[in-house]
Amino acid sequence: MLSNYVPILVLLAIATLFAVGSVAAGALIGPRRFNRAKIDAYECGIEPSPAPAGPQRFPVKYYNTAMLFIVFDIEIIFLFPWAVAFDSLAVFGLGAMALFMATIFVAYAYEWRRGGLEWD
């Protein structure tokens, strides 16, 4: 019974070794030239300026792109288990996934029509 989980454990071990090895290699091989500028907090390379008083407009383009990514990321998360269990779901599974894909397509078409995919 546990033999089914061996590939997952091997993959987990490889990923862990790679992560730990990468951090260790960077610490051992990387340059060690520290100065005051490198130790200070980094804020996009510029000195922070005080915010103007009163309300200000804030662009939401970044948040729209992030939400679009989340929508399509969740779509992929639902597609993988469906593809694995496709044989056992039969026509009901096909209909449910068609409805799900239609809903996602409506969201995609809406975002495309509103110009959310254009980088101005």
pLDDT at 79: 86
Q: What is the CATH number of the domain that holds 39?
A: 1.20.58.1610
- Asked, for residue 118, whether it belongs to a domain, the answer is no
Nearest to 94 by CA among 105, 104, 103, 83: 83
Quote the CA–CA distance of 94 and 82 in Å, as a whole number. Answer: 9
- Asked, for residue 60, whether it belongs to a domain, the answer is yes
The total of structural domains in the chain comes to 1
Can you list the residues of the chain whose pLDDT is less than 50? none
Taking residue 64's Cβ as centre, other Cβ atoms within 10 Å add up to: 15
- Asked, for residue 99, whether it belongs to a domain, the answer is yes
Quote the CA–CA distance of 45 and 37 in Å, as a whole number. Answer: 10
- Asked, for residue 119, whether it belongs to a domain, the answer is no
- Asked, for residue 117, whether it belongs to a domain, the answer is no
Residue 102: domain span: 1-112
Q: Which residue has the tokens 């454990």?
A: 9
pLDDT at 6: 93
pTM, entire model: 0.46
pLDDT at 42: 64
- Asked, for residue 120, whether it belongs to a domain, the answer is no
